[in-house]
A and B are shown apart, each in its own frame.
Chain A
């Protein structure tokens, strides 16, 4: 609650919260899933749960790319980079994510050439400047980052830069939503749709959710007022027994998406028949691999990816948390063996992971820093 006074649009927020209370049927329990990890972070950070009536539950969805990546993919990437001639590049978010044999950062401490890049273009530049080394970029992300990786691969091909490859771990959001709707233990009434993914894919790809599954979905921005406004819109639809796709984030998201970005993705990537998601299992056609025409720049086709599969530590209940069956603090390891400083599961690594968000904003409210010895 304490953030509310600081909001630029405190008046709008108070009004939206009041509207939510008016629209919500007190005899009904609502489960809304925010698909995107950015929304999860915002919801905790702004304490938005405190503004909602208790019968509106927000379920945190699969939209944190670091969190849904199976541990074995990290081991695969690091294993392919064991050759001392290879420079392993990844975004900073990946550096502390544990593989079965340690995180990229721990591999760096053991002598591997591991570097943080902030853009895939910089990985390509690194290859250009180190012609006698091989630069492997560990690519990750939903449709927000996949077009950039695609464009970089197109440049690598056009400029014939041969000492560069991409290990693609890109995933797509629609099949994950489908898997959630197909899962028997999940009952979601409506969706808070992702904001930035939608700048690329637009709003059309969500139409089946409304039409075939009868679930409202509202593409939503990241300010507190945006998220509350979106809850109002979802409640209005449910009240009118409607299910449609609405765009609350019109100021940034065009209904048709970004065609140039979609073209780049289609040029470089094709759907994998299936891909494993951490905590959710294998989902058909849910990830992107590099097409044959770019095989030379595909780390998986160029090197041998061992195809490591690592089961998460038994005591960790990342899967249940990821599916919204358990709250983060209901996991046995939460706040004990697993903390943002020493993450066991990926949900604790990324600030967009529901465990890290819960830990930073909810847990610390009740357990002051001194008692848990944290240092962030």
Chain B
């Protein structure tokens, strides 16, 4: 019964890990519902936001709910990409190679 014990032990271990993650998720949801989610909701209310800031490449993807649906050349708001090429080509990296900091000295010269 060696293999049987090993198998049941593995399954029990995996089940415990899964259950643990589910309990952790449940606690996260409960605690975040009080703190983070309410803070985020307050932000939506105060700034009168209408959309999530996920896709910033086009106005219809930045604000899918506000896209002018009747306009020709606008895609369906559920579409994620206008051109298939976007799926293959990566966007430019945003890491700046050089950063200059300019500050005033005491004498007023920079």
A joins B in a complex: no
Chain B residues with CB under 8 Å of chain A are none
Chain A residues engaging chain B, CB cutoff 8 angstroms: none
